[in-house]
A = this chain, B = another copy of it.
Amino acid sequence: MQEITVLSPATVANVVCGFDCLGFCLEEPNDLMTVRLVDKKTVKIKHLDDYNLPLEPEKNVAGKALLAVLERIEENIGFEVEITKRIMPGSGVGSSAASAAGAVVAANKLLGERFSQNELVELAMYGEMVASGAKHADNIAPCVLGGFTLVRSVEPMDVIQIDYPTLFATIIHPQIEIKTSYAREILPKEVPLKSAIRQWSDVGSLIAGLQKGDYDLIARSLQDFIIEPVRKKLIPSFDEVKTASMKAGALGGSISGAGPSIFMFSKDLETANQIKDAMNGVYSQTGIDFKIYVSPISSKGVVKQ
């Protein structure tokens, strides 16, 4: 195989109480990427979209991830990549993770599947560092593996797949920009031990709820007393969106990644669509442009088109 085209999906990280560890994979939106093997140790990037992203491999998320791949292999080969980004950068649903994960998963397929899942996540993480400056894998892990993932540790990389029942996500993306660096800056450096205990009790019970397929337990555990109260101030009408979504039948939800997107879980497509209507009702009155996606949690991650 000399060329492969993949769909690399959007993902949600910082799943409510699971800040910096829990993420899940969506079916859409997704990026379209074609990766081609060439017989020179080089990486070339071409973007077929209008996002004006840097094309130098060192500065491009997919490019940097593929350079990391080249460092790990001995053959005198390289990659040419064509990317049609359909996940808007800065939306908070893992746009850069999709580029990085799509690139390394595609490359791995061209190389005969020689890297483990933990290695793929690690390689893609080098790409994402270009965009975020930080070493975190909670969007990359669900993009590579699909489903619901917990990144227990990045050094060494330790990604755990969590079982889960049928779940839908409704995601509203207000078209405003939140700098991830600013969203990080405003976080407290220290938190009360009491709040931390509350949070890890909820993380534990969320995992138990997901593994058992217990929707009530999932709903009870979807609380965040540490990050959400600080970051929600950056997102206009956050509380109104959440309240309207819960009224429409959401199990719970919060900020997706570092925002500005907000996601809400539900048990079925019908409820997910009702939540969409509820979000629409709130945001139509804000004067801010927005997009709403409805997607099941996808078990698949990056897939061959």
By a beta-carbon cutoff of 8 Å, the part of chain A in contact with chain B is 17-22, 150-153, 158, 160, 162-163, 187-193, 196-197, 199-208, 211-212, 217, 220-221, 226
Work out how many copies of this chain go into the complex. 2
What chain B residues lie within 8 Å of A158 (beta carbons)? 205, 220
What chain B residues lie within 8 Å of A192 (beta carbons)? 189-190
Q: When chains A and B are docked, how far (Å) is the Cα of A69 from the Cα of B226?
A: 36
What chain B residues lie within 8 Å of A151 (beta carbons)? 201
Question: Known contacts A152-B220, A190-B192; is A204 also within 8 Å of B204 by CB?
Answer: yes
Chain B residue at smallest Cβ distance from A150: B204
Name the distance in Å between A200's Cβ and chain B's nearest Cβ: 4
A152 and B202 form a contact (CB under 8 A): yes
A197 and B19 form a contact (CB under 8 A): yes
B189 and A193 form a contact (CB under 8 A): yes
What chain B residues lie within 8 Å of A17 (beta carbons)? 200
When the two chains form the complex, which single residue of B191, B212, B221 contacts A190, counting CB atoms closer than 8 Å?
A: B191
What chain B residues lie within 8 Å of A220 (beta carbons)? 152-153, 158
Q: When chains A and B are docked, how far (Å) is the Cα of A150 from the Cα of B193?
A: 18
What chain B residues lie within 8 Å of A22 (beta carbons)? 204
Q: When chains A and B are docked, how far (Å) is the Cα of A158 from the Cα of B208?
A: 13
What chain B residues lie within 8 Å of A204 (beta carbons)? 18, 21-22, 150, 152, 200, 203-204, 206-207
A208 and B20 form a contact (CB under 8 A): no
What chain B residues lie within 8 Å of A160 (beta carbons)? 205, 208, 217
Q: When chains A and B are docked, how far (Å) is the Cα of A208 from the Cα of B197?
A: 18
Name the distance in Å between A4's Cβ and chain B's nearest Cβ: 32
